[in-house]
Amino acid sequence: MQIHVVDHPLIKEKMTRLRDKNTQPKDFRQLLDQIAQLLLFEVTRDLPVRHKKVTTPLAETTGYELDVSGITVVPILRAGLGFLDAVMDLVPEAKVGHIGLTRDEETLQPIKYYCKMPKDKDAEIILIDPMLATGGSAEAAITMLKQDGYKHFRFMCLVAAPEGVALVNRSHPEVPIYTAALDDHLNENGYIVPGLGDAGDRVFGCLLYTSDAADD
């Protein structure tokens, strides 16, 4: 599997609190932001850098800057928006695109209802969505962006299911997936088990579910 489970004590502790059905929306959002930033360190670890001269108060020295065309952060609506602020805090120079996909509750297939992207086709695309369940939304988003000429992708999520990872790996084997947890399986409704509930609903303070939602 082309997947990186970020194994860090702080992530493990925060994920446990995030999964708890009694965690309130304010605390859920705060934990989500913290985990997102910890994940982003790994997502961006292998980005190329180049030397850059910098003058400190005492002397001139050599520093670094990112050697990429650009970075575009793309939340998959709506739950992906819950990741966005935390990511942009660390890479404020990044541009932002949006892809809106909903799921057909009978076929579990994604349906696009919105897509707006920056023009830089050579940028590093960081797709963000808290849940990788069936994998349909992530797979469809990458496929659509490739068709539009975008080339470089990374996918970041909180929780992944083996079925979703397998679909993205099969369709886009070059795209690395970064997650805080790889859970057991999907249930008959396409929800991740044990999961953490509907991430979008919990971020935005809507109904709290005891079963886990698939891709938003």
Pick the catalytic residue from 103, 129, 202, 212: 103
Determine contact, residues 7/164, Cβ cutoff 8 Å. Answer: no
Residue among 33, 129, 183, 198 flagged as catalytic: 198
Residue 73: which of 36, 38, 48, 102 has the closest Cα? 36
Identify the active-site residue in 201, 212, 215, 216: 201
Catalytic residue list contains 198: yes
- CA separation for the pair 170, 123 (Å, rounded): 23
Residue-wise DSSP of 80-143: THHHHHHHHHH-TT-EE-EEEEEE-TTT--EEEEEEE--S-TTSEEEEE-SEESSSHHHHHHHH
Closest CA to 72 of 44, 46, 53: 44
If you search the block for the tokens 């934990």, which residue do you land on? 31
Pair of tokens at residue 85: 């602020």
Of 132, 21, 128, nearest in space to 84 by CA: 128
Q: What is the DSSP letter of 47?
A: -
Active site residue 183: no
**Of the residues 55, 56, 62, 107, which is catalytic?**
107
C-alpha gyration radius of the chain:
18
> What residues are annotated to the active site?
103, 107, 198, 201
